[in-house]
Every structure is written in structure tokens, then in C-alpha cells.
Structure 1
Amino acid sequence: MSKSKELIMQKVQRFGGAMFTPVLLFSFFGIMVALSILCKNPDIVGGIAAKGTLWYDFWFIVEKGAWTVFNQMPLLFAIALPIGLAQKNHARASMETFVIYIVFNYYISAMLTLWGPLFGVDYTREAASGSGLAMIANIKTLDIGMLGAIFIAAISVYLHNKLFDVNLPDFLGVFKGSSLVVIAGFFIMLPIAYIFCLFWPHVQMGIASLQEFLKVSGVFGVWLYTFLERILIPTGLHHFIYTPFIFGPAVVDGGIKQYFFQHLNSFATSAHSLKEMFPQGGFALHGSSKMFGSVGIALAMYATAKPAKRKAIAGLLIPATLTALLCGITEPLEFTFLFVAPLLFAVHALLAATLAAVSYAFGVVGDFGGGLIENAVLNWIPLFKYHASTYITQFVIGFIFTGIYFVVFRFLIVHFDFKTPGRSDDETTDRLYTRADYKLKGISDNAGLDERDRKAAAFLAALGGKDNIEEVTNCATRLRVTVKNDKLVQDVKAFTTAGAHGLVHNGKAIQVIVGLSVSQLRERFEALLTAEPDGRKEAMQRNQQF
């Protein structure tokens, strides 16, 4: 039974990590949408933004391009998911999924054209929010959103993993590989499209009811959502919490992020309360702890470190805190204390949820899922003119919670004598959290390799070598590996000595906390899995090319 649970956890974590692949694009495109709207607003930039001016025309064009990932979000998820889920030939898996997903939508379009009333769907309506219909790659189809796209992509990847390497007779050779996968998908999508036409309209009614319930759940709903989003970070399952809210239909059609951008201009020119206009925005306050809580946590760890070690600890905490504060990536900071003091992480989740709930109670809403840079461009700059009091309130509450974080963390660290960075008597332990030493037993003579090459080699050795690796993928900051024998995996010290921020070890599902360079490190890690014994020389040559 335990093995079955372990296998399920491996699959769920891998799936959650794969979902994050397209999410990495949203910060940049979101900033560009907000910046375009800001630069087209005459109240902010003056008469230069009037319609017909070259300035207005330029930003109008930029804005259209910036909407790409939000207007094509289901298609993006369908194409991106195979990158994380396919066991091999990821590019071909993405192509296959694209074709199968388009076939699926054409089937639905044809069925609704012929039998729309039978399914309870008015196919003559315009594909707009609330209609139950959507335009996908210029196909008028059911609005199954990101969730439906993920489901179809999962089926396609399953077919790819099962059929891509099937060997057919020579006279059928043209149907091998990707062709066989797409052929299977072509026929399988036929009944699946019919099932969606039959049941999805009822699912849409259920989603509408859920949206209404969450709207009236108020402060408690915001608290519970934020708590779950934080507390599940160590497991990697937090993607399943925020994704349906931010990018899916949990509280508003199209997701909070898309809805907020679509209405940003009206929010920016209205003096009505933001909470009245956008009550769903309370479910996007989970980034508040990234801005305010991370500073209090870092100050508490610095204050409780031994005086002789504070300079070294500052070198660790400052970049980790800035990463959380500016970029909204908290794992480098959180994983400096998670494994030595899990209680602190539980307290962090409670405080983060309370910060979001209190902010919402005082009228703070918006798209605050990221760091300082993203939040400024998406919220404060375009909306400050009419909503200054809301944001002043947000900062007052935030700074109060920075103080609360500091006091609570400092008390707990001292009271329980948690061995957070800088408090250990073991000099080697303190070096776990620095970048001064990338040596690992069995890894030597790495001169000429860049930092990511050295880390990849060290992590591979600590994971038991290439023969112990079954699957590899990544999310925003973690290298996710499924191993064959988890007893061969070394303890957290081996990984942090090599430059990792921490390790999550759930049976055969291993997560190495790397940081924002994880996608480049994964490429090198996978290259080592297929390299010849002298693969290190090849890595050196690649490094010299760049």
C-alpha cells in the first residue's frame, strides 16, 4: 500500500511540476500588458497617449502581442505539458499533443454544430465570457479552459510514452513514431469529444456555483486558500491550489490573472472600491508574504545567528531575500530553514494566510502573486491615482506583519534553539548554505566547467549515479527526479554542499531545490545521463562555446 501511495505521489508531483512550465512566461507578458495599458492612459502619461498619436499606436501594437499567452492559454498548456511529462522526445510529444488537441476541438465544434440543443448548448451564441463557448485556434468550441487542455495533453503524453517506440513492419514504416501517436489520438478523441459535449455543460454549471460560493466565502476563504498554497510548497503540490484560481475558472472565467488584465483599464479610471469591483482579487494576495514576510524571516535568522557568523549568513540571506522580495521566488529562502525547523515553515504558512486575510478584510485586492517588480507594474503604478488609500493600507498592514514575522520567528528560533543558518556549532553545516564549496565525494577535477555543470555532476552522483535515474523534470526552482532505489540517494548535506538550497525526499520522488537556474541545470543533468564516460570533456567544450 505504501508503494502504491509513493507511486501516486511521484506522478502527482511530476504532473504539478509540468504544469509550471508555461506559467514561467506569464510574469513577463503580464508586465508588458500592464505597461501597455499604463502607457495608453492619458491620465497617467498625458496627451501623448491620445488615440491617433504614434505613441498610442506603438503601445496598442505591443499590447496585442503581450496578450498572446493569455488569449491562447489552453493551447499553451496543451503544448507545454509534454515538455515536463513526456519520457523522451519532448519536442515531438508537444507537436503530437498540439495536433490531437486541435482535432479534439474540431470534433466538438462539429458535434455542437449538428447537435448543440441535444447537449443543452446554444452554439449560435458568440464565444464570450459566460457563454460556455470559447475560440481555440480560431475554432468555436466548448470553453473547457486550461483544465480541459491539461486533460487532453495528459492523454496525448500517455499515448506518446506507450506508442512512440512501437516497431511496425517495414511496409507500415511511414506510420511509426509520431504518426502512430497521432493516429491513435485521432480516433480516441472522437468518443472523448462526445463525452465532453455530454457532460461539460453540467460541469460548467457546477463551476459557476463554486464561483458564487467562493465569492461569499470572504475572509475565511482567502485565509484557507493562502494557507494551503503555502503549506504545500514542500510537497510541490501547491501548483494544484493556485493554478485553478489564477489561471483557471475557480472564481472567475478565464482565471484571476486574465480577468484582472482585461479590466485593468477600467479599474485604473474608476474611484469605486477595488474590492467592490474585483472581490475575486482576494485569492491573488498570496504574494504578500513574499514582499513583507520574507524580510521579517531573514532579519530574524540574521539576529539569532552567532555574531562571528553574521557576516557569512548575511551573504546567504541577502540574495535569497532579494529573490523573494523582487521576483516572488521564495524557495531559496524558505528552504534555508525548512529542514532544520519544519515548525517555522508551518508558522510561516499561518502568518502568510493571516496577512492575506487581514489585507482582504481592509479592502486590498489585485494581482499580488509575484514579487515587488511585478506587483508594482501590475497594480501600484497603474491604479495608484484612484486607489492610493488601498495601497497605503496594504503597506501599513504589510510592515506590521514584517514586525510580527520577525518577533515570532526570533522567539521560536531562540526558544527551541533551532539550528538555523549561523547557529550551529558544526562549521561544515554552516557551509551547506554557501556557494564557497562545490566539491562532492567522487567529483573532482572539474576545472573548466561552469557552476551549472559542476552542480549537475554533483547532484547526479548524490542521487546514486546515472543508472539510478528513472525520470527527470523540473518546475520553477526544483529539479524533480524519480530514482530506482532511493536508498542510494545521499542526505541533504551532500546536495547543499554542492550548491542546492535543500532537498525533498519522498520515497523515490526526489526534489532538489536549485533556484532559478534549474531549467539550464536540468539540460546539463540530462546530458550527463546520455553522455559517454568522457562526457565531462564535452561539457567543457559546450561551456567554452558560450
Structure 2
Amino acid sequence: MKKNVQSYFSKLGRSFLMAVAVMSFFVLLLTLGAVLKNPHFIEAIPFLGSSWIQFIANALSESGLVVIRFMPIVFAVSIAIGMSEKGNKELAAFSAVVGYLFMITFSSLAINHFGMAIRPEVAIGENNMVSLSQTLDMRKAMQTFVLGIQTIDTGVLGGVIVGTVSAWATKKYRNKSLPMIFSFYQGKHFPPIVTGLIFMVVGLAIPFVWPYIGGGIYSVAELVTGAGVVGSFLFGFIERILIPTGLHHVWYSLAHFTPVGGTKEICGEVFTGTKAITTSALGCGNFSGDLSDITRVWLGQGATPIKVFGVPGALIGIYLAARNKPRAKVIAISAASASIFAGVTEPFEFLFMFLAPGLFVIHAALTGVSFAILDLVNASYIGGNNIIELIFNGVLQGHKSTWIPVTLVGIVMFFIYLFVFKWYIEKFNIMTPGREPEEDDSEDVLQAEVAASKLLKQKTDKNEVIELVIAFLGGKDNIKEYTNCISRLRIYVHDSSLVNKEGLKKVPDALGMSQPSDEEIHLVFGMKVSEYRNVMDQQMGE
């Protein structure tokens, strides 16, 4: 039972990634727009204030805000796809759109019919553009506008519910037979209909139920924010500890996309969750407020010193502790590149996670300390967790982002990680790369490990690698389902006894293997995981 629950939430966690990936890309465009709109830069370079450059800046900013404003439906579709089985993903996505539209429409019908709708602010701006604004009373009553409809603000949690139910309905009713008179509606037509009917009822009930759910969420938010520096430490610590299970995506999404991360008004519009708040602050050229109360539990603030500075320091420590330094060098360079430039730390963590659990706990604790220190000094950071976002969202934002303490903490973490990792590995004789017994250092093992660590183009035949993976998994018939996240190929099998675990640990080009549950296996390919996913699709006949 415990493993099934863990597997379910692991699957739920990875289903967030499609939405997060789309959001991350457009937030980068928003960042460029924010730089062009920054009044400090315009004052220094008056040319930036020209109308056509500001039009481009506004277009770039709006590209990021589109995803932020419609996060619930974006997440509903992402989760419906991620939670569905192969062959049903497109149908589940369509069902999610139908379900979400029914939910907001019938919630609107209910608040209108029962006299619960609160009057919004209506304004006619330049060029006769009409705008409907959410008032403070609407916020308190959890009412907002979605696609021009005044409805209950269920936020991303509403999208998560819609996506989960849509995936369930698709699986249950995809092959449902109906009486002859209704036969046209069976098969692929039925799941969207069922989803629509479900959220017709849910939509009518939400105005009466959601205020209590929302109250519970706000209570959790008050608990987290009320814990002060200790709460910040626990947020960062738990996020890292959950890495082996893949559940860390669910954990940080709680702060990123729900009231747990706070609620704040930015340039006349109310935003919920640290991701939406920091993104809107980037997009608002006139914003100069203090976001330290929001970013204290934001992944970007606490993780940047670790991913940009700490992890490279640890990898230097691993290199210095190695006996075979050429082997350790290529692995250290590749893992450091993934962490610094993409904010992906799994290739680094899988190097020692299972060899030295105590060292992994130290790594998680240092992450928590990073969050706590930045909270203690009231850092107000709107950058991301890689060096590119540190520069564009931190350094180039000037008055908006206190990036200096983030950098200073990072420099300190660099040296702490370097000395702690080197000391721990040597003290307890941890078999990190380059420290294996000499008798195991055959030329074949060395070349395979070197090839596995590189992020650059290499000679490894991906078709041969995937053939090995499929064979070690017990053949195609034993593979129930598979997908990928940022760095891992995640496979579910029917019979775990048919899996050759030792073989999977030695797959060329793989950086590590993890097994969160009997039926779930993770193979870490780092930044090349999408390439291997494509090859696996071809070989599995997808």
C-alpha cells in the first residue's frame, strides 16, 4: 500500500514538469522584457525608452504572464497527460479542457444565481479597451476572472483536481460500452462527456465548499510563514531529501503555485504563489517593493547558492579525493555544467546518494541552511536557480532583487561543500568516481564511465543503449509505461523480478539508477534524457 501511494505521488510530481517547462521558457522571455522595461536602464540608456522597443518589451513580458494568468488550465492539461497511460494522453488532455471550462462556468452560474457575485472594478482605458479588475472583497471571497468569466478562484489546485479526475475518467471510460441508442457517445467520445458532467456538479458545489478548502490552505500558509527561519530551513531540507523519490516536484510546487507561497498585489493585480508573484514583479517595470516575505520559501532564493556555487565546490572535492583523477574530472565537469547552467542536480546527487546517505543528508541540511540564512538577512530575490537567471533576474534587476547576499552565501557554500565532501569521502573511504579499487578499473569500465558522464556529443550508439535498457528491464512486454523528467527516464514494469538491476547500473551513458518502488525504476541520463526518450519511443513502437 505504501509503495503504491509513493508511486502515485511520484507520478503526480512528474506530471507537473510539462507545465513547469513551458512556464520556464516564457519566463525567460519575460525576463528579457523586464530588463528592457527597467526604469534604471531606460534612464541610463534613453534609447531603450523608444515606443517600438517598449512594445517589444511588453510583448516579451506578456508572453510570460500568459502562462501565469492561466496556470490552472495549463496544469490541468499537463497533469492529465502525465497521469494517463500511453495511448490515452491526448484524450485525457481534451477531457481536462472540457472539465475545466465546465467547472469555472458552473461556479459562475452558482454565484450569480444565489447572489454571491461581488461587483468588480470596471474600467475603459485607451483605445476603448475594457478591463475587469479583481477587488479586495473579491479576493476575500475567493472570486476572480478566468477567460472573462467571474468565478471562484480555485487556483492551481483546481487545475490539479481537474487534471487528475480527467486522467481517471479517461482510463475508466475509454472503452465503456453504452446501449445501442447512445453508441455514438461511447469509446473516445465518452471520457470528455463524463468529465464535463462531473465538473458541472463540482462547479455548482465549489462556491459553497471552496471557501473552507481555501481557508485550510491559508492555514497551512500561515503555519509555514509563521515558522520563521526554522520554516525556511525545513522547506529547503525537505525539498532535497525527497529527491530519490521524485516527490520534490510536488513539495516545491506547493510554495510556487498555491497560497502557501503567499499572496501579494503587484502593480494593481493580485498574484498567488511565489512563482506568480516573482514573475509579475519582473514584468512590472515600476515595481520596487520588498519581496523577502515571499521569496523566503522560494526555490530560487535558497537553491541558487547551492546549485551555482555549492555543487561545483562539492564536485571539486570529489575530484581532489579521487585516486583516478581523469575519470573523476569528466564526471565532475558534466555534473557541474548541469547544475550551474540548468539547475539540474540529479547527475551530481546520484554520484553519492546511495554510496553515502549521510553525505546526502548533509547536502540536504546545507540546502536548508542556505534558505535560512537568506531569510535571516531578509533577502528579496527574484532570480532563478541557475547562473543565467542569477544574472538576468538578479544582477540586471538592480533595485528589485537583492542578489548580493545570494552570491555571498553561495561563495561560502562553495568552500563548505568543497572541504566537507573531500573530508567525508576520504574519512569514510566512499567509493565515489575515481576511488574504486584498482582491480575494477578495466579499460571497458573506464571508457563506459567516461562516456556516461559527458554532456557533449559522443560516440555512444543510443539505439544500442536502449536495446540494453529494454533487455535489462525484462523485455518490451514487461514495460508497463515510461516517461521522462528533466534528467531521468522513468519506467514502470509489470514484474520487478524480471529486472536485471545490476545490468541497469552499468548501462553506458547512464549516470545512475534508482528504484523508488518495486515497479518504478529511474535511469539518470542528465541533459540528454530527451534524446534517449525519443529512441525508446522508436524501439517501443510509440
TM-score (norm 2): 0.87
Q: Tell me if 1:80 matches 2:78.
A: yes
Match of 1:264 in 2: 282
Q: What is residue 29 of structure 2 aligned with on the other side? A: 32
2:466 corresponds in structure 1 to: 456
Which residue of structure 1 aligns with residue 371 of structure 2?
356
Could you tell which deviates more after superposition, 156-165 or 195-204?
195-204
1:229 to 226, 230, 239: 239
Q: Post-superposition shift, 1:310?
A: 0.8
- Does the C-alpha gap of structure 1 residues 31 and 437 become closer, same or farther in structure 2, counting only changes over 3 Å? closer
Is 1:325 aligned with 2:345? no
Moved more, 481-490 or 296-305: 481-490
Deviation at 1:128, TM superposition (A): 5.5
> 1:524 and 2:542 equivalent?
no
- Give runs of aligned pairs for residues 244-263 of structure 1, distance below 5 A: 244-253=254-263, 254-263=272-281
Answer yes or no: is 1:410 the counterpart of 2:415: no
Q: Which of 292, 316, 332 is equivalent to 2:309?
A: 292
The 1:451/1:358 distance shift into structure 2, 3 A limit, reads farther
Alignment-mate amino acid for residue 463 of structure 1: L
Does structure 1 retain, via aligned residues, the 8 Å contact 2:12–2:83? yes
Q: Distance in 1 between matches of 2:361 and 2:165?
A: 36
The alpha-carbon deviation at position 283 of structure 1 amounts to: 1.0
Q: How far off its partner does 1:497 sit?
A: 2.8
Deviation at 1:113, TM superposition (A): 0.9
| 1:47 aligned partner | 46
Q: Pick the aligned partner of 1:175 from 164, 185, 195.
A: 185
CA-CA distance at 1:518 after TM superposition:
2.7
Displacement of 1:396 in angstroms is: 2.2
CA distance in 1, matches of 2:303, 2:492: 30
Alpha-carbon distance, 1:395 to partner: 2.0
Counterpart AA for 2:134: A
Question: How many Å apart are 1:399 and its aligned residue?
Answer: 1.0
Matched residues in 1 for 2:89 and 2:400: separation?
A: 47
User: C-alpha displacement at 1:159, in angstroms?
Assistant: 0.7
Q: In structure 1, list runs of 5 or more residues that go unmatched.
A: 439-448, 532-546
Question: Which of 134, 142, 150 in structure 2 is aligned with 1:127?
Answer: 134
Q: Which amino acid aligns with 1:82?
A: A
Q: Look up the match of 1:441.
A: none
Q: Distance in 2 between matches of 1:246 and 1:202?
A: 21
TM-score in terms of structure 1 length: 0.86
Question: Is the Cα contact below 8 Å between 1:86 and 1:161 reproduced in 2?
Answer: yes
Cα offset, 1:136, TM superposition: 2.5
Q: Per the alignment, do residues 266 and 219 of structure 1 end up closer, same or farther by CA in structure 2, a change over 3 Å counting?
A: farther
Residue in structure 2 matched with residue 143 of structure 1 by the alignment:
153
Retained in 2: the 8 A contact 1:492–1:503? Answer: no
2: CA distance between counterparts of 1:137 and 1:269? 26
Q: Deviations over 1:33-72 (max 9, x none)?
A: 121011022421422233x622112222222223221111
**Which 10-residue stretch deviates more, 63-72 or 425-434?**
425-434
Equivalent position of 1:443 in the other structure: none
Secondary structure of 2:302 counterpart: coil
CA drift at 1:368: 4.6
1:445 match: none
- Given that residues 469 and 507 in structure 2 are in contact (C-alpha distance below 8 angstroms), is that contact kept between their aligned partners in structure 1? no
The Cα shift of 1:98 comes to 0.7
Kept in 1: contact 2:487–2:529 (CA 8 A): yes
Give the aligned partner of residue 441 of structure 2. Answer: 427
C-alpha distance in structure 2 between counterparts of 1:135 and 1:169, whole Å: 40
Report how far residue 186 of structure 1 moved. Answer: 2.3
CA contact (8 A) 1:16 1:240 kept: yes
Given residue 360 of structure 1, which amino acid in structure 2 is its aligned partner?
Answer: D
Given that 2:16 and 2:75 are in contact with CA atoms closer than 8 Å, whether structure 1 keeps it comes out as yes
CA drift at 1:191: 2.6
Contact 1:116 1:123 in 2 (8 A): no
Q: In structure 2, do the counterparts of structure 1 residues 40 and 436 end up closer, same or farther at CA, with 3 Å as the change threshold?
A: closer
Name the residue aligned to 1:280: 294
Q: 1:304 to 1:223 in 2, by over 3 A?
A: same
Q: State whether structure 2 residue 490 is matched by structure 1 residue 480.
A: yes
Matched, 1:208 2:223: no
- Structure 1 residues 283 and 214: CA distance shift in structure 2, 3 A: same
1:431-470 CA deviation, whole Å, 9 max, x = no partner?
56332699xxxxxxxxxx9744333322212211111111
Secondary structure of the corresponding residue to residue 434 of structure 2: coil
In structure 2, the residue matched to 1:11 is 8
Any idea what SS the aligned residue of 1:296 has? helix
Query: What is the number of residues matched between the two proteins?
Result: 506
Distance 1:481 1:178, change over 3 A: same
The superposition leaves residues 162-213 of structure 1 with CA deviations (integer Å, 9 ceiling, x where unpaired) of 1112344665442123321122122222332233222111222333343334
Residue type matched to 2:336 in 1?
A: T
Question: Using a 3 Å threshold, how does the CA distance of structure 1 residues 431 and 361 change in structure 2: closer, same or farther?
Answer: farther
Residues 1:370 and 2:380 are matched in the alignment: no
- 1:471 equivalent in alignment to 2:481: yes
Q: Which residue of 2 aligns with 1:340?
A: 355
Distance 1:82 1:208 in 2: 26
Aligned to 2:509: 499
Structure 2: distance between partners of 1:226 and 1:262: 23
Question: Structure 1 pair 269/172, CA: closer, same or farther in 2 (3 Å)?
Answer: closer
Counterpart selection for 1:61 from 41, 59, 70: 59
Compute the RMSD of aligned alpha carbons. 2.6
Aligned residue type for 1:249: P
Contact 2:81/2:92 (CA < 8 Å) preserved in 1? Answer: yes
CA distance in 1, matches of 2:337, 2:9: 31
| Contact 2:452 2:508 (8 Å CA) reproduced | no
Q: Is the 8 A contact 1:286 1:368 kept in 2?
A: no
Shift in alpha-carbon separation, 1:411–1:370, aligned structure 2, 3 A:
same
In structure 2, what is the equivalent of residue 101 of structure 1?
100
In the TM superposition, residue 386 of structure 1 has moved relative to its aligned partner by 7.0
User: Counterparts of 2:527 and 2:148 in 1: how far apart (Å)?
Assistant: 35
Deviation of the 1:291 alpha carbon: 1.1
> Tell me, what secondary structure is at the counterpart of 2:526?
coil
Q: 1:267 to 1:231 in 2, by over 3 A?
A: farther
The alpha-carbon distance between structure 1 residues 250 and 6, as it changes in their structure 2 partners (threshold 3 A), is same
- Whole-Å separation in 2 of the counterparts to 1:15 and 1:290: 25
Q: C-alpha separation between the residues in 1 aligned to 2:64 and 2:378?
A: 29
Report SS of the residue matched to 2:315.
helix
